[in-house]
Amino acid sequence: MKRAGKKSLLGGIPSWGLALLTVVLAFVVLMIVGDIIAAIFKISDENVVAELIFYMLYNLIIAAGCFFICRQDYKSIWYVPVLCNVVGIISAIVESTFWKSSLWMVICGGWILSLAAALLGYYRGKKGEQMVL
């Protein structure tokens, strides 16, 4: 038996919707918050370290989203990491300089991190389902 209680606001959204919300949130943080922080601290556009920090934050948001979504619905392991990383996948295909710059290492590292987080969420969700009878 499952516990009866109040559903959260995000509780009724399917996993694919949560994955797309994760993409939007991560992209907003990457672009808008990154620009605001760069303007406040007067970071130039050519500063590679600041760019790497923003992309690492982007990757952490994506990985956290993959973990929580796959923990909530472990059957979504097949598509959540792909949907969450759709911006990076499209940029890898479309941008001609993606594989020539050092950016590919950070983005691909984020893909691996999100896959690991999704697998961890899958195992935690599967384990939690066995405990609830």
Residue-level pLDDT at 41: 77
**pLDDT at residue 104, rounded to an integer:** 87
Residue 1 has a pLDDT of: 42
Residue 66, classified by CB atoms within 10 Å of its CB into exposed (0-12), middle (13-18) or buried (19+), is buried
Domain ranges of the chain: 17-131
Segments in the chain below pLDDT 70: 1-7, 45, 130-133
DSSP conformational letter for 11: T
Is residue 62 within 8 A of residue 22, CB to CB? The reply is yes
* pTM reported for the whole predicted model: 0.84
pLDDT at 130: 64
Euclidean distance between CA atoms 10 and 76, whole angstroms: 16
